[in-house]
Amino acid sequence: MVIFRLGFAIRLLWTTNLLAVGVSSNVQRTNTRHGDVWYANVTGDLLLGGLFPVHRKGNDGNNSCGEIQTEDGIQPLEAMLYTIERVNEDPRILAGVRLGALAFDTCDNPTYALQQAFYFVKGFMARGNRLGEEGYRCEDRSVAKFLDGELDGVVAVLGAQSSSVTIQVASVLALFPVPQISYMATSPFLSSKERFPRFFRTVPSDVNQARAMLEILREFKWSYVSVVYTDSEYGDHGYETLTLLASEYSICFSAPHRISDDRFTEEDYDHVIRTIAEKTDVRVVVLFAEKSATLRVLEAARRVGVGSRFVWLGSDSWPDRRDAEGTEDTIVLEGALAVQPLYAPLSGFDEYFTGLTLDHERNNPWFREFWRIYHGCTDDETDDKVAGKVSLSFVVDFEVKKN
């Protein structure tokens, strides 16, 4: 499998720094569970809320969560914890003030993420009561609290990652005077200050990504291509932007296919691949889809047996190497291209992450699960590896540095 990680460097620079804020392990840790909901919760004078796809979206179409995500979920969360630790240790930044964090798992699912975001909403409402705004009161006329006031100190929310999840959450958080900052959501829809007056992000919109993809097509003289996109905010707006700009680059999109990760079966995905293969002469297929849908399209291409007929050009949600491990998509992916944002390395993070042991689950309630999956051990064997170190080889492999 040959996958080129392009940093939008063809006449364009799409740069991003991972906005990561985190918490010192020396700060007192409070509860990490409310009912069936787990959350990372470290106390501080000011709290930064977090929404991360610690787990993948479940496959049953409901609000279930799938397997844990190392690069897309655990690492961004740990980057948050690590960076707040650095902020708290530097007296020149916030003298006399300690940052804290309260982070939830979105499971990369808009509906599930919205449920988690309502914990912040309830906290904002409770804080309004405490500050004298007219609101709910208990029977004894005391001010109502939520989770014993643990969320009262949240001053901003970081996340989410995917555009679909971020838009769902931003629609609710926009009702409160609290900024939301996404480190990866790229949908142009989020650029509307009328809809999202306090939304910010550290990546440019998909307009830049679409131009980068069109530049690649023009550079290789691929003027007649097919496109597959998801029925989501991310896919719809991505396809809309591609078609809107296509004439500037003399690109013709033939046989567009809109797919649904929730409703499509294997047969539906197979039909899409057969239609492209049998009814068009295209050699290049553009994929503007979330990671889970992209994987299912590639699996369908393997089942249908198209071999290396197509050159795939993927968007920034293209699966990484670990996502493809254990699959038989090698031949299908030969020559595939994917655009990715340019990342600047986070100084000291590799040493921090590789030095973590199982004791870290005191700050990150999902760390034990990550540890077990990464080391390939059972629950009984997990404790035997407490003194071990977590290898970061797969992180270094996929790090894209600015030139």
pLDDT, block means (10 residues), the chain with 403 residues:
38 32 36 68 88 88 82 93 93 92 93 93 75 53 57 89 93 94 92 95 90 96 96 91 95 93 92 93 93 90 89 86 54 80 86 91 91 80 50 38 36
How many independent structural domains does the chain possess?
Answer: 2
Do residues 134 and 190 share a domain? yes
Do residues 213 and 141 share a domain? no
Tokens of 75: 């690492």
How confident is the model at residue 124, as a pLDDT? 85
Quote the CA–CA distance of 319 and 391 in Å, as a whole number: 21
Q: Are 299 and 269 in contact (CB under 8 A)?
A: yes
Q: Are 271 and 280 in contact (CB under 8 A)?
A: no
Q: Are 108 and 159 in contact (CB under 8 A)?
A: no
Quote the CA–CA distance of 326 and 358 in Å, as a whole number: 27
Do residues 90 and 159 share a domain? yes
How confident is the model at residue 307, as a pLDDT? 82
96 Cβ neighbours under 8 A, 6+ residues apart = none
What CATH number is associated with residue 228? 3.40.50.2300
Write the CA distances from 121 to 30, 46, 77, 171, integer angstroms.
20, 17, 21, 12
Residue 160 preceded by cis peptide, ω within 30: yes
Q: Are 142 and 196 in contact (CB under 8 A)?
A: no
Quote the CA–CA distance of 369 and 353 in Å, as a whole number: 15
How confident is the model at residue 325, as a pLDDT? 54
Do residues 190 and 47 share a domain? yes
Do residues 354 and 290 share a domain? no
Quote the CA–CA distance of 369 and 68 in Å, as a whole number: 8
Do residues 272 and 365 share a domain? no
Q: What is the DSSP letter of 385?
A: G
Write the CA distances from 393 to 53, 71, 353, integer angstroms.
21, 12, 11
How confident is the model at residue 23, as a pLDDT? 32
Q: Please give the residue range of the domain that contains residue 319.
A: 206-342
Quote the CA–CA distance of 390 and 75 in Å, as a whole number: 12
* Three-class SS state of 212: helix
Across-strand partners of 259?
A: 230
Q: Are 267 and 239 in contact (CB under 8 A)?
A: no
